[in-house]
Every structure is written in structure tokens, then in C-alpha cells.
Structure 1
Amino acid sequence: MLPRIKLTDLLMDIAYITGFHEQFIHASNNRKPDKEETIIIMAALLGMGMNIGLSKMAEATPGLTYKQLANVSQWRMYEDAMNKAQAVLVNFHHKLQLSSYWGDGTTSSSDGMRMQIGVSSLHADANPHYGTGKGATIYRFTSDQFSSYYTKIIHTNSRDAIHVLDGLLHHETDLNIVEHYTDTAGYTDQIFGLTHLLGFKFAPRIRDLSDSKLFTIDKASEYPKLEVILRGQINTKVIKENYEDVLRLAHSIREGTVSASLIMGKLGSYSRQNSLATTLREMGRIEKTIFILNYISDESLRRKIQKGLNKGEAMNGQARAIFFGKQGELRERTIQHQLQRASALNIIINAISIWNTLHLTKAVAPYVTSRLGTY
């Protein structure tokens, strides 16, 4: 049986085991936190990650004041520090022996978690999901080892697919992601094309698959057994004419010269006449057709995709349970503060994953020793 532990104690234990707290370097004097400041940082993480706020956290924590929590929130918990702290946790978990039982860290999924925003915010969108209110989406990337390696705040009404490559390319962990799963909202023809160019295997779970169009380079009549499901022909001419430009675009995205979400958003809004958008679409249709044919014929692929998506959905379920304060509503007006809350939540999630994995390892050790010898 796993021991029971308070979340406050769990976070402190994982901080001293992994050293992730050392990433919260002061933005002004470049000083790492000392023991007292580490306690304040952990309290601030809990206040934000559980969505109870710094004021309530100060009231519930003897010896700490709101001023102390607000100070570390401003000077130590900036975006880069939060990302590096998350990376330390994910990397530590990745190296644990038991983590390989769930996966090897090469596949992942991404899924959005809608959050209602209870204050006026330029980043909040109206959506039927919120009733009369507005909200945003926490878009989370989950590895096959049950670690959350990247998160961002996106507009609820923007398509998830626009943001897929941001997480795959710009996480700061040691994970070598080669295959990625999404639901229908995470895919477009252009994403199929760009993920292929960037070396990723893209495998979405597509809703209403029977309505999807399949394409061929030759005439459909060249494939009599498939002719009934082939509904279009690839424009190879536009691919040949613009291939070098598309490669340059992919290189710019890979090097971080321009963000993938910015480019994908612009390409998605361009007219059909835009050569780059058309070329990526045609290349993506080739990859999508190959994928769908494999998906239909390979039950193990379908199971693998579903399993990967289930892990992401389970992670979102855990996130909602942790983020219980203020009825699960975000009360921050700026995207920077919203992302700070989402990142604090991610740190807590990853700390829990490490703690569970460490204690599961201890729990199964006697059994493994009895079966295999020294563990």
C-alpha cells in the first residue's frame, strides 16, 4: 500500500529529491532560493496550482505572509523558471526504472482543458461550453510515462491543431518524442504535412472517419480496389513548385525563428491561392491518406492511439481535482498570470507522478526480488 501524505509535504519531499526548486532563480540578483525561500516558493506553487490564491494560502500557512508569497511569485516564478522546473521533474521521472513500464518516453498526446474565466480578460472567449460566461483553454502535452511536459494557454475558439508543434518542438525536457496523438480538434491537413517535414509521426483519432477524403497521386482508377473511397487527386505540380519554400518554412519553425502556432494560424486564414498553404495542404493529404489506410487496417495502431489519448485525459482529470479553488475558475486577467497558474498546476502534477512512481517502486520491490532476484 502507498503511504498517505499531505500535498504540502509531498511537494517539499520532491523538491529536495529532485532539486527542481533551484530553477527559481531570482530575476534581479540571480540568486538561488535558500531553505526559507524554498518553503515560500512551495507555498506559492500550491496557492496557484490549487487555485486558492496567494491571500488564502497566506492565511492558511502560519509564519508566511501574502507579501512574501507575492514577492516570490513576481521575482522567482517567471515563465522561464517555471519551464525549467517542469523540465527537471519530467527528466527525473523519465530516468526512473518503473517509468519505462508505462512507456519509453517517445510518444505523447495533447488535449485541451477548458477553464472558465471569472473576470474580464482580453484572452477570454465566449463559447457554449461556458454558458453565459467566457473562458480559455489549458493545452497540455502528456508523455506515455504519465508526465506533463508542456503546457500553454490558448483561445478556446482557436483550433488545437495550431498549437501542436509548439509543444513538440519547444519543451525543454530530455524526452525524444517521435509520435504524437490528438483528437479531431488537433489535426488539419497542413499539420499532417508539417509534422512529417519536421520528423514526427502524427496519429490523430479522427471523428467520423468514414467522411474523410482520401487522395491519390495517380488517377483513382489506377487503384480499382480502393477507387470507391478515393475522392481526390493530389496536386503534385504545386508541391514541386514550392517545395524549397516549404522546407525553408519548416527549418525556420524548427530553429524557433518563428513560432509554429503563429505560422499555422496565418496559413489557416489564407485563401486557397496562397502557395505555401496549398503546398502544405497537398503534402498533408498524402500523409493523411497513408495514415488513415494504416489506421483502418491495423487494430494495434488504433489501440495505441486510444491508449495515448486516455493518458492525456486522465492527466486532465487529475488536474481538475487539484485545481479545485474558486470552483475551478481562473480569476487572472492577463495571459501571463493565467499561464503562471497553469504551470504551477503542471509542476504539482509532475511532483505527484514522481512521488507515486518512487513509492510504487518500493511497493513492488519485494515481489520483483522474489521472482527475479535482487532488484
Structure 2
Amino acid sequence: MQQSPKYGAEPGVKIYSHLSDHFASFGSRIMSATAGEAPYVLDGLVLGVENLPLHEHYTDTGGATDHVFALCHLLGFRFAPRLRDIADRKLGSIAAPSAYKGIECLMGRTIKTAAIKADWDDIVRIVASIKEWTVAPSVILRKLAAYKRQNRLDFALAELGRIERTLFTLDWLEQPALRRACQAGLNKGEARHTLAAAIYTNRQGRFTDRSLENQEFRASGLNLLIAAISYWNTIYLDRAVQHLNGAGTTCDPALLAHLSPMGWAHISLTGDYLWEQARRLPTGEFHPLNDSMAHLKLVVCPPSAPMAQI
């Protein structure tokens, strides 16, 4: 029996979701709690590219392998993971490591370009099958990983991925903007995970459904609730900005891009929902904005004491 250091030995599943930079969830997949995340990275990207202009993907170390680097490049995505142990990873090279004077300590073994050339046609066929959705990327990657001995195609794909990982590592070291963008993208994902955990508080993040179909319904329902909250917050954040601008307080447009619609402090996630008593707003009408100063009250103190606001 496999045991997850995070989820324990009990059978379990988890949802692997993708999030666009506009906080739109897409490509949720149900997977085993003990399974690696890397094979599922491309599933959401290949499906999501039909509806979203996807070109770059951020993830953490758990979703990064040389195979994913290779397939992301061939499918037209820039793969930008935050690698935890990047200082310990060696760079790949086409020439002998000794040819790179001054950085020999950073160089690993030479990339086997002959292996890539020998199996290039099979690599192209895999990419074509993925693009046509004849087979899911996760199925291909798990099948390659299931061989007891590394076969030629698996090795060739990994070598191609080493080239892409080396180029990415150099960009990561040289471009602070890339590191900031990756961190910002991952922070958006963490905000989404926190909201999902708050919504799923009743069952404490546990699935009680046995069938995969019902589990996928749960995941879709969770995405729908997150999308509804995000949509609501976006509308009223825009109205709040318009209100401030109308009151003479100018908001810097550059800062608005960093606002997150994933807050829920103003939303009751538990309790009774009496839908029949809820008043439906006419088209074009909105709820009034909250007065940020309404919770403050003036405390009258003795003459000898100073006035205070709480």
C-alpha cells in the first residue's frame, strides 16, 4: 500500500486544477492522493487552450519533470516551474562540460542528441496524438513511467526535456521578472486553494463519493462556486473603484491588476440559505457598497481623557 506523507495511508483522491491569470478555474482532474502531479499538468493546458489564450504555465516542483518540459515546448507552452532544488540541478550541455570554462561545476552530463534524433518521429507522433486529443497527456506520461526499464522513447523525451530545462534555468537565473511572475502566479493558485478549502469546510475537504463520476461532479460544483464568488467580487470591486474615483480618490490602474477576487470574508459560507426569500435584483441594479467606516464608532470619554475611535 502506498502512503502519502501529507494524506496518510487512508485511500484518498485530490483535485488537480488549473487557474488562469484572470482567476478562471479550468481543467480539474481527479487523481489519487499518492500520485505525482506532473503527468496531469498538460491535461488541463491541452483542454483549456481551446477557450483561453494559454501560453505560459506556472507550477511548483511537484509538477515539474523533464518529460513535461519537453512536451510543453512541443505543444507551444512555456513551462515555468518554481524548482525547489534549482541550486543542486546540473545544466545539460551539447558539447563536453569541459568546454564551458569557468562554469564546469554547474554542468552535468552531456545531452544525448543522437537519442533524440533516433526517436524524433515517435516524439512527433505523440505530440500529434495529444493535440488531437486522441490520448490524454497524463496517460502517455504514466505509460512511459510504468515500464520497468527505461525504453528508448522515454529516454529521448527526457533528453529533450533536459535541453528545455537548461534553457529555462538560465532564464530563471538571469531574469528577476520571470521569478516574480512565477511567484505571483503561484500566489493566485494558493488564494484559490484557500477559498476552495473554506467552501468545503462542512466535509473538511473529504470526498464521500465512491464513483469517479460523482467525484467529478463535486469538483465541477466546487469550480462553479469559486467562479460565482470570483464573478461577484469582480463586479463589486469595479463598482468600489468607480465610487472612489467619483469621490475624488484616484486609484492607480497599475495596482488594480494585483487585486484578487478570491476573498470571502463578506460571504456567509455556512448556515441556512433561504433562496425563496432572497430578493432578485432587477437588471442593472446592484446591492449598495459597504461603508468602510461604518464599523467605527465614537467613544465619549471623560473630559480628562482623550477621545478615541475603535
Residue 287 of structure 1: aligned partner: 164
Measured against aligned partners, the alpha-carbon deviations of 1:343-368 in whole angstroms (never above 9, x if no partner) come to: 10000001111110011111111344
Please state how far the C-alpha of 1:126 moved relative to its aligned partner: 4.3
- Which residue of structure 2 aligns with residue 164 of structure 1? 41
For residues 172 and 209 of structure 1, what CA distance do their matches in structure 2 show? 29
- CA distance in 1 between counterparts of 2:86 and 2:147 reads 26
The residue aligned with 2:290 is: none
Q: Which residue of 2 aligns with 1:254?
A: 131
Matching residue's letter, 2:47? H
Residue 172 and residue 300 in structure 1: after superposition, are their counterparts in 2 closer, same or farther (change >3 A)? closer
Q: Secondary structure at the match of 2:23?
A: coil
Query: For the residues of structure 1 that align with 2:201 and 2:34, how far apart are their CA atoms?
Result: 24
Q: Does 1:328 align with 2:223?
A: no
* SS of equivalent to 1:134: coil
Q: Which residue pairs with 1:119 in the alignment?
A: none
Residue of structure 2 equivalent to 1:56 = none
Equivalents in 2 of 1:280, 1:344: separation in Å? 37
Q: Distance in 2 between matches of 1:191 and 1:130?
A: 25
Q: Deviations over 1:189-246 (max 9, x none)?
A: 1110111000000011111112212110111122113211001101011111111211
Q: Does 1:359 align with 2:232?
A: no
Give the AA of the match of 2:68. Answer: I
Q: Secondary structure at the match of 1:130?
A: coil
Out of 143, 146, 149, the residue aligned to residue 26 of structure 2 is: 149
Asked whether the 8 Å contact 1:127–1:134 carries over to 2, the reply is: no
Which structure carries more helix by proportion? 1
CA distance in 2 between counterparts of 1:125 and 1:145 reads 37
Q: What residue identity is the alignment partner of 1:213? A: K
Counterparts of residues 74-153 of structure 1 (less than 5 Å): 126-131=3-8, 133-153=10-30
Report whether the alignment pairs 1:342 with 2:219: yes
Q: Does the 8 Å CA contact 2:45/2:54 hold for their aligned counterparts?
A: yes
Indicate if the aligned counterparts of 1:189 and 1:285 stay in contact, CA closer than 8 A. Answer: yes
Q: Which has the larger radius of gyration?
A: 2
Q: How big is the shift at 1:132?
A: 5.0
CA distance in structure 1 between the aligned counterparts of 2:138 and 2:86, rounded to whole angstroms: 26
Query: Following TM superposition, by how much is the alpha carbon of 1:276 offset from its aligned partner in structure 2, in angstroms?
Result: 1.4
Counterpart check, 1:305 vs 2:167 = no
Extract unaligned runs of 5+ from structure 2.
252-310
Q: Residues 48 and 54 of structure 2 are in contact (CA less than 8 Å); yes or no, is this contact kept in structure 1?
A: no
Which residue in the other structure is 2:191 paired with? 314
- Which of 68, 90, 93 aligns to 1:213? It is 90
Q: Which residue of the partner structure matches residue 238 of structure 1?
A: 115
Separation in 2, partners of 1:173, 1:360 = 29
The more displaced of 213-222 and 160-169 is 213-222
Aligned to 1:87: none
Shift of 1:152: 1.1
| 1:268 shift after superposition | 1.7
Q: Distance in 1 between matches of 2:162 and 2:7?
A: 34
TM-score (norm 1): 0.63
Q: CA RMSD in A?
A: 1.9
1:273 Cα deviation from its structure 2 partner? 4.4
Identity of aligned residues (%): 44
Count of residue pairs brought into register by the alignment: 249
Question: Hey, what's the Cα distance between the residues in 2 that align with 1:173 and 1:368?
Answer: 37
Moved >2 Å (runs of 4+): 124-134, 171-174, 269-273, 366-372
**Alpha-carbon contact 2:130-2:136 (below 8 Å) kept:** yes
CA distance in 2, matches of 1:132, 1:263: 27
Shift of 1:141: 0.5
Aligned partner of 1:140: which letter?
Answer: S
Change (3 A) 1:172 1:226: closer
Letter in 1 for 2:177: S
1:250-300 deviation digits (Å, cap 9, x = unpaired)? 010111011111001011223554121111100000000111111112211
Structure number with greater CO (CA < 8 Å, separation at least 6) is 1
Counterpart residue identity of residue 168, structure 2: F
Distance 1:127 1:269, change over 3 A: same
8 Å CA contact 2:7–2:33 kept in 1: the answer is no
Is 1:275 aligned to residue 147 of structure 2? no
